[in-house]
Structure 1
Amino acid sequence: MPLMNVFHDGDGFPRIVLADPSGSSAEVLLYGGQVVSWKNERREELLFMSSKAIWKPPKAIRGGLPVFFPQFGNLGTSERNGFARNRFWTIDSDPSPLPPSNNHSSVDLLLKSTDEDLKIWPRSFELRLRVSLSAGKLTLIPRVRNTDTKPFSFTFALRNYLSVSDISEVRVEGLETLDYLDNLMRRERFTEQADAITFDGEVDRIYLSSPQKIAIIDHEKKRTFVLRKDGMPDAGMWNPWDKRAKTVPDLGYEDYKTMLCVDSAVTETPIVLKPLEEWKGYQELSTVSSSYCSGQLDPRKVLYGF
């Protein structure tokens, strides 16, 4: 049977530990509704956590899988990347209308607007998140309900801090030929020219109208992350590289070498909800082994299942 246990650590962060019979596990904090660990059946950590992460409210925790709501980046009136990632969530006792996740170890979390939130963002909402673990997969289903009397709009992202062996040996496939906004160039719009995205410097981009499937190939570990998403048409990508890393107080100077953020996002066209309407997104992270000699993993097999 899949397992779920709630632990109260000395750091004041109640955490839910999901376990799968295959040996894989995930840890989810009630603080931020944030996944902070995802290990495969060999107990290898798949998510990056900053060596200087600050585990103290109201700071956001750098690493894992933070939830950005009600805005992604600084596109809005709320604080950068929103406030959902530094609020305490609760376990949701009524996750309907989602079907029960019988075969998976899962937890349903809930964040409701408080008086404090309404001062920052004067709209009443309910934000739900289901985190499910199964063999080789971590699935997140976010939902936002408008409990206000007026319509509101928001942007959203699930930021995935992926653990990689060496960023200069990683490549990303599935985003070629797409338009992207470059945050290093005042959000100017460009078209991706490369056959696959590789890394030799700072990158901070939002790829627009991206496909439902993106592959992140880690040559050294012979491992490929597959990101599948629905309801979140854009894809963020971030690595600070060496100079920028030194300006981020809660990131170790060398941390950039072993991380890459690839985000499921709604940013170019905000979601608009009328009163009582609900938006639902979907994200699934999985890993496949990429076994090849000196050649490359055939991206068509990963991206299109050929």
Structure 2
Amino acid sequence: MPLNIIHDARGSPKIVLSEPTGSTAEVLLYGGQVVSWKNERRDELLFMSSKAIWKPPKAIRGGIPVCFPQFANFGSLEQHGFARNRLWSLDDCPQPLPPANNQSTVDLILKSTEQDLKTWPHRFELRLHISLSAGKLTFIPRVRNVDNKAFSFTFALRNYLTVSDISEVRVEGLETLDYFDNSMQRERYTEQADAITFDGEIDRIYLSTPTKIAMIDHEKKRTFVLRKEGMPDAVVWNPWDKKAKALPDLGDEDYTTMLCVDSAAIETPIVLKPLEEWKGRQELSTVSSSYCSGQLDPRKVLLGFS
């Protein structure tokens, strides 16, 4: 399906993906970032901060930013690395993928610049294939080492999801797993609850996670299902009220309608020898939550996506 490359009201080039049932996604070349994903009823599925800064070189808070070559400040670079505040290009040599009916796709590429090499001295090519189909948004990131020496990196796709009320949301699929608690000096704990619920700040990196995680929004009767490959960790984040007020690019009440559940490779950095390539995959989909005694059975949701 043909790409629509337009400039938004701020002058930023973007690609609009659309598919026959009516869902759409907007992808900025700045950051290679998806900033909107609407379903066939035109409901926005991604959260965008009411105070997001849309002017380079700032990162845009919301949507799905790409964190590379480091996540958070697990290294010497700026927070979450530099890929999310660089201008990407359309990839004219994408990896051939099997043709799929009723999909709208775009292939983007980011290459190391001389400026980047001063802070992270490794030559790379970061490719991102994004495809939209009915009820589904898929990402295939690939990192290739085009240097003459090995390098390592961490990576994440930060998924800002919009929810009706964070205090009514449950995250299923991470129970019994170990996690690093970033709000407690990265102490390691084991998840004891049968689901993650929210009544305060949560900033955790869950380790060796399953390929499927469900985010259940009771009020909207909607469940997001995250499927991922090549990214063994998952980050769950909501800043709650005090942290939200401390972040200049987040509205004071924005935390009540946002949830981040990220696909990530953090605990064990990815190591690439010269000319080696890493590939990941993330698929976000939505299903209507079916209720039984006022509560969704998450096992049915997860089994339905096996």
Shared fold per TM-score greater than 0.5: yes
Return the alpha-carbon distance in structure 2 between the equivalents of residues 143 and 64 of structure 1: 20
Partner secondary structure for residue 245 of structure 1: helix
Return the alpha-carbon distance in structure 1 between the equivalents of residues 66 and 154 of structure 2: 11
| Cross-structure match for 2:113 | 114
| Cross-structure match for 1:170 | 169
Partner secondary structure for residue 246 of structure 1: helix
Aligned length in residues = 305
Tell whether 2:282 aligns with 1:303: no
Partner secondary structure for residue 46 of structure 1: coil
Partner secondary structure for residue 198 of structure 1: coil
Return the alpha-carbon distance in structure 1 between the equivalents of residues 107 and 223 of structure 2: 28
Q: Compute the TM-score of the two structures, normalised by the length of structure 2.
A: 0.98
| Cross-structure match for 1:287 | 286
| Cross-structure match for 1:229 | 228
**How far apart are 1:96 and its partner, in Å?**
1.9
Return the alpha-carbon distance in structure 1 between the equivalents of residues 100 and 111 of structure 2: 23
Return the alpha-carbon distance in structure 2 between the equivalents of residues 282 and 76 of structure 1: 24
Show structure 1 runs of 4+ deviating over 3 A: 97-103
| Cross-structure match for 1:150 | 149
Does structure 2 conserve the Cα–Cα contact (< 8 Å) formed by 1:168 and 1:199?
Answer: yes
| Cross-structure match for 2:272 | 273
| Cross-structure match for 2:21 | 22
Which has the higher mean CA deviation after the structures are superposed, 156-165 or 90-99? 90-99
Partner secondary structure for residue 197 of structure 1: coil
CA deviations 1:32-53 (Å, max 9, x no partner) are 0000000000000000000000
The residue identity in structure 2 corresponding to 1:153 is S
Return the alpha-carbon distance in structure 1 between the equivalents of residues 98 and 277 of structure 2: 16
Return the alpha-carbon distance in structure 1 between the equivalents of residues 189 and 220 of structure 2: 31
Tell whether 2:208 aligns with 1:179: no
Partner secondary structure for residue 204 of structure 1: strand
The residue identity in structure 2 corresponding to 1:35 is V
Return the alpha-carbon distance in structure 1 between the equivalents of residues 99 and 35 of structure 2: 24
Does structure 2 conserve the Cα–Cα contact (< 8 Å) formed by 1:3 and 1:19?
Answer: no
User: Following superposition of structure 1 onto structure 2, how do residues 246-265 of structure 1 map, counting pairs within 5 Å?
Assistant: 246-265=245-264
Does structure 1 conserve the Cα–Cα contact (< 8 Å) formed by 2:19 and 2:102?
Answer: no
Return the alpha-carbon distance in structure 2 between the equivalents of residues 269 and 304 of structure 1: 28
Does structure 2 conserve the Cα–Cα contact (< 8 Å) formed by 1:36 and 1:47?
Answer: yes
| Cross-structure match for 1:207 | 206
The residue identity in structure 1 corresponding to 2:220 is K
CA deviations 1:128-181 (Å, max 9, x no partner) are 001100000000000000000000000000000000000000000000000000
Unaligned 5+ runs, structure 1: none
The residue identity in structure 2 corresponding to 1:224 is T
| Cross-structure match for 2:136 | 137
CA deviations 1:199-243 (Å, max 9, x no partner) are 000000000000000000000000000000000000001100001
**How far apart are 1:127 and its partner, in Å?**
0.2
The residue identity in structure 1 corresponding to 2:167 is S
Return the alpha-carbon distance in structure 2 between the equivalents of residues 108 and 294 of structure 1: 44
Does structure 1 conserve the Cα–Cα contact (< 8 Å) formed by 2:180 and 2:186?
Answer: yes
| Cross-structure match for 1:41 | 40
**How far apart are 1:100 and its partner, in Å?**
4.7
**How far apart are 1:291 and its partner, in Å?**
2.3
**How far apart are 1:99 and its partner, in Å?**
3.9
Return the alpha-carbon distance in structure 2 between the equivalents of residues 160 and 294 of structure 1: 30
Return the alpha-carbon distance in structure 1 between the equivalents of residues 225 and 147 of structure 2: 36
Q: Compute the TM-score of the two structures, normalised by the length of structure 1.
A: 0.98
| Cross-structure match for 2:160 | 161
Which has the higher mean CA deviation after the structures are superposed, 226-235 or 70-79? 70-79
Partner secondary structure for residue 193 of structure 1: coil
Return the alpha-carbon distance in structure 1 between the equivalents of residues 98 and 153 of structure 2: 26
Partner secondary structure for residue 116 of structure 1: helix
Partner secondary structure for residue 221 of structure 1: coil
**How far apart are 1:106 and its partner, in Å?**
0.4
Return the alpha-carbon distance in structure 1 between the equivalents of residues 2 and 296 of structure 2: 34
Measured at CA, do residues 124 and 264 of structure 1 come closer, stay the same or move farther in structure 2, by a change above 3 Å? same
Tell whether 2:33 aligns with 1:58: no
Return the alpha-carbon distance in structure 2 between the equivalents of residues 229 and 293 of structure 1: 28
The residue identity in structure 2 corresponding to 1:48 is F
Partner secondary structure for residue 206 of structure 1: strand
Does structure 2 conserve the Cα–Cα contact (< 8 Å) formed by 1:178 and 1:208?
Answer: yes
